[in-house]
Structure 1
Amino acid sequence: MAAPAPLLHPDSDPSFAELLALRPQLRMDPLAGLMMEEVPLARIAAAVGTPTWVYSANTLRRRLATLQSALDDARLGAQVHFAVKANPNLAVLRTLGEAGAGADVVSEGELRAARAAGIPASHIVFSGVGKTLAEIRLALAEDIQQINAESAEEVEMISAVATAMGRTARVALRVNPDVDAKTHAKITTGKSENKFGIAIGDAPALYARMATLPGIQPIGVAVHIGSQITAGVSAYRTAYGHLADLVRALRAQGLPVERVDCGGGLGIPYRDEPAPHPAALAGAIQATLGNLGVELMVEPGRWIAGPAGVLLASVILQKQGAERRFVVLDAAMNDLVRPAMYEAWHGIVPVTPADFVAAVAPADVVGPICESGDTFARNRGLPPLEPGSLVAFLDAGAYGAAMSSTYNNRPLAAEVLVDGDRFAVVRERQTQDALLAGQRLPDWFAA
């Protein structure tokens, strides 16, 4: 049997105070405990229960404004379309829509959510490698701003559906530039072996084909090279450089190119790692695409929503194992799957002032699901935590609730929006009855 991995000293991780110092939406009040904006998280837990997702409306607005300002300062005039896949909650979408963001959607459900949140169809882009005929019909019926086509086969589908409906689809061609974004293998999307987009060398012929098809108005090109990109912006510069060359080549053939969709993927620091600022992304766009006279758009998701959310959880018990201490929470991998799926690191901060300043010792933080993979952190420095103690997972506003499931027949957690000194439940906790709703026993069991 292999020797157990040595316990890491908790000082190797940022302290609780260091984590909060980088997240202005959170602060530790000496009496009320951990606050999001002006609301104690303990008050939300008492009113709503745990596990619960909590989102900061002002953080959503602030980060959107920071990104838009960086683009404006570079004189790009770029539109921001929030990637709905990161967080499709209607209150989150409404907050961002009212602040000026459009939506990038990848399914019928996301399109309907964006429209229900009040985002106009004229500010919605439909991306994704596998749009169904029904989804294409809905996009055309809603008259959305743009469909990003990802294959020759999809171009033909869009043409057929649009012609049958008597519509003209505004279509951008998503290209695959074969650029390595140096991110996790499961979320890289711009390499040649990935399923996304058209090989950039094949794009001119297909774009010319689009211009001859009925029901299609080719309006530009699109690219997206991955998610959680933190290794600088060199990959963006390379991809956008290839895109600029493509635009020039298409125009040399007499083909119209009005718009370039630059995608998203800008990463955030979950721990204390460096991450590029929106100004660096804007600089990469300006240097490569800024002189082409095209409309520009970006599709951020995580960068806007990630730091705006926490997952609030309660301690069920502490268990002293043969080799390590386990802190067992009422949240599980069905709620926050990123650690199990991507080996992702999330800050875990105690909510009460006493726990925040207590001495820490290594512990494994786990959930109650019947899998060893239901582990949020190993050897994490935490104080002794009594049953009922509250902790908050940081930077959980993107790909948190959106990726949750009902594995082990666990209900989906509630979602709450905080805005200043007020909060509201924006998605009710799923009930046990709702878990069984829609299931039916065959008639023969009755016999």
Structure 2
Amino acid sequence: MDHFTYKNGRMFAEDVALADIAKQVGTPFYVYSSATLTRHYKVFADALAGLDALVCFAVKANSNQAVIRTLAKLGAGADVVSGGELTRALQAGVKPGNIVFSGVGKSDGEIRMALRAGIKQINVESEPELDRISTIATEMGTVAPVALRVNPDVDAHTHEKISTGKLENKFGIEWTRVHEVYTKAAKLPGIEARGLAMHIGSQLLDLQPFRDAYVRAGDLVAMLRADGLSVEVLDIGGGLGIPYGETDETIAPSPDQYAQVVRDTLSGLDVELVLEPGRMIVGNAGILVSRVVYVKEGATRTFLIVDAGMNDLIRPTLYGAYHAIVPEREPVKGATLIDVDIVGPICETGDTFAKGRRLPHVNAGDLLVMRTAGAYGAVQSSTYNTRALVPEVMVNDSQFAIVRERLEVEDIIALDRLPDWLE
């Protein structure tokens, strides 16, 4: 469910007309709904009621300060994967004790930043990283709370570029070596081994891989405890998929169904659970609004050329991802539909949002809405082709605010520097 609906023939974000935002902000732009963010977080958190669980929003899905602050005020923690994301989470008001730091390539500076901030834990991805954290923590005269990230060798049956839980993936420590490495961690200076972590992938629409991974995690916890090792925390990651509106209308599992898998497999472990939802919270809470620049009648097809490009929303190009695309003006009931390709202005054939999409007739100047763009949309945007960086807007009932200004071409070029010999 989201709060982007037609009212009197025009699409609104909550109680704000998209056309009104477009007049003030220009196109293209992202819009986030506070009400949708709030609802999705509460539905997910409520599904876990009765469990000792901390919900840490995966900042990589959407790192806008307004988004993080909205969720932090609801009690969310943060899962971060860089020093930049850690800085964003802290500045947005997330409590340090509710932040976990994941990621396979943490630099010395990022490790020191995390230890100085006093975050909840660092999820260790490899034995060399564990050794490095030990050295840095000892040098700083502190103790690093860590959880070992397990690679459970479970196939999430998702896109190859977002699969993280198979042995050939770069993430985590092979599950068969966890006992050995955890035993080592418990003895290392500057290290407090607090538990285990895992994340098997993103956009999972089948709950069985979660079940398989969590059963393996539970077995590992029992094995470690049997040898007298303390395991207080189990970070089970995120990855719960959402419906993007594909024509086959795949239905994603509900948070309640997912939570039941957690209860079935982990409720008796007596550990604090950490969960890292990202897409599930913010995906349907955001849209990308673009304007049709030209309607081009090609030799074999009709192209709608819009002012958004793959630099603004790269998911269709990068993953072959589907986004529902609808006109900002509500189509007349029974309107004739035609097949169109929706493409952007980037000098790449891959700059295509949809092929053969059935839409009612639209004209140059009309607005189109790309749904379910709140996750991995703006965070992956770029200035490719020296295009202005797309702005972000948040609505709250009848109010809206620009929460990231458009980075104009002049601002982008101003970042360049000429060497002395070219002056």
For residue 184 of structure 1, the aligned residue among 159, 179, 198 is: 159
For residue 243 of structure 1, the aligned residue among 192, 213, 217 is: 217
Q: 1:361 to 1:154 in 2, by over 3 A?
A: same
Instruction: Name stretches of at least 5 consecutive residues in structure 2 with no aligned partner.
Output: none
Q: 2:2 & 2:187 partners in 1: Cα distance?
A: 53
CA deviation map 1:140-190 (0-9, x unaligned): 000101100010000001000100001100000000000001100100000
Paired position in structure 1 for 2:85: 110
Q: 1:192 to 1:335 in 2, by over 3 A?
A: same
Paired position in structure 1 for 2:307: 330
Paired position in structure 2 for 1:195: 170
Identity of aligned residues (%): 52
CA deviation map 1:94-113 (0-9, x unaligned): 00000111000000000000
Aligned partners of 1:355 and 1:385 also within 8 Å: no
Aligned partners of 2:232 and 2:271 also within 8 Å: yes
For residue 261 of structure 1, the aligned residue among 216, 235, 243 is: 235
Aligned partners of 2:2 and 2:285 also within 8 Å: no
Q: 1:190 & 1:136 partners in 2: Cα distance?
A: 24
Paired position in structure 2 for 1:364: 341
For residue 42 of structure 1, the aligned residue among 2, 5, 19 is: 19
Measure how far apart 1:355 and its partner are.
Answer: 6.8
Aligned partners of 2:69 and 2:92 also within 8 Å: yes
Aligned partners of 2:238 and 2:277 also within 8 Å: yes
Paired AA for residue 247 in structure 1: V
For residue 82 of structure 1, the aligned residue among 49, 57, 78 is: 57
Paired position in structure 1 for 2:117: 142
For residue 200 of structure 2, the aligned residue among 195, 203, 225 is: 225
Correspondence 1:271-290 to 2 at 5 A: 271=245, 272-290=249-267
Q: 1:411 & 1:166 partners in 2: Cα distance?
A: 46
Paired position in structure 2 for 1:5: none
Paired position in structure 1 for 2:66: 91
Paired position in structure 1 for 2:6: 28
Instruction: Name stretches of at least 5 consecutive residues in structure 1 with no aligned partner.
Output: 1-22
Aligned length: 420
CA deviation map 1:353-393 (0-9, x unaligned): 35787422000000000010000000001222222100110
Measure how far apart 1:286 and its partner are.
Answer: 1.1
For residue 131 of structure 2, the aligned residue among 142, 151, 156 is: 156
Measure how far apart 1:76 and its partner are.
Answer: 1.4
Q: Name segments (4+ residues, structure 1) moved above 2 Å.
A: 353-359
For residue 351 of structure 2, the aligned residue among 354, 374, 390 is: 374
Q: 1:236 & 1:383 partners in 2: Cα distance?
A: 40
Paired position in structure 2 for 1:16: none
Q: 2:165 & 2:392 partners in 1: Cα distance?
A: 33
Measure how far apart 1:122 and its partner are.
Answer: 0.8
Measure how far apart 1:287 and its partner are.
Answer: 1.2
Q: 2:52 & 2:136 partners in 1: Cα distance?
A: 32
- What TM-score, normalized by structure 2, do the two folds share? 0.98
Q: 1:444 & 1:57 partners in 2: Cα distance?
A: 51
Aligned partners of 1:364 and 1:380 also within 8 Å: yes
Paired position in structure 1 for 2:368: 391
2:140 is the alignment partner of 1:165: yes
CA deviation map 1:176-210 (0-9, x unaligned): 00000110010000001000000000000100000
- What TM-score, normalized by structure 1, do the two folds share? 0.93
Aligned partners of 2:331 and 2:360 also within 8 Å: no
Q: 1:355 to 1:43 in 2, by over 3 A?
A: farther
CA deviation map 1:258-314 (0-9, x unaligned): 000010000000012111111122111111111010001100000000000000100
Deviates more, 1:111-120 or 1:345-354: 345-354
Aligned partners of 1:334 and 1:405 also within 8 Å: yes
